Amino acid sequence: MFEAVRDGKDGQMLTEERVIARTIPPVRLDETERSAPARQDPRPEFSVPGLLGRLFLVAIGFGLAFTGWMLMMTVILVFIGLPLFIFGLAVMQAQER
């Protein structure tokens, strides 16, 4: 049984001739045939005005990160604490943009 499989018998799909792969040249567009560039809609930026807003975001982010850290330290609630910790760090970083 194993000899028939090794010889290419027993229904295996083997090619009779050698397959030669050739590269396909890349298609180049002429400069005159290009269409207008795609229009991009302006994305609204998230901004926090003033120092008070920034401090508020840092405090909220630190509270979330600290709560997540404490949940991670319980070991049982690590699956809730780790995402909360990472989200808190992201909230603290949001004020830097």
Rounded CA gap, 8 and 16, in Å? 11
Q: If the chain, 97 residues long, is cut into consecutive pieces of 10 residues, what is the mean pLDDT of each piece? A: 53 69 77 62 67 86 92 88 92 75
pTM: 0.48
C-alpha torsion 28→32→33→38, nearest 10: 100
Per the listing, tokens 């709560």 go with: 67
pLDDT score of 65: 93
pLDDT score of 46: 62
pLDDT score of 34: 58
**Structure tokens, 87:** 């989200």
pLDDT score of 6: 53
Which residues, at least 6 apart from 90, have a Cβ–Cβ distance to it below 8 Å?
61
Q: Could you report the per-residue pLDDT of 14-37, keeping only the tens digit for each?
A: 667 777 778 888 877 665 555 666
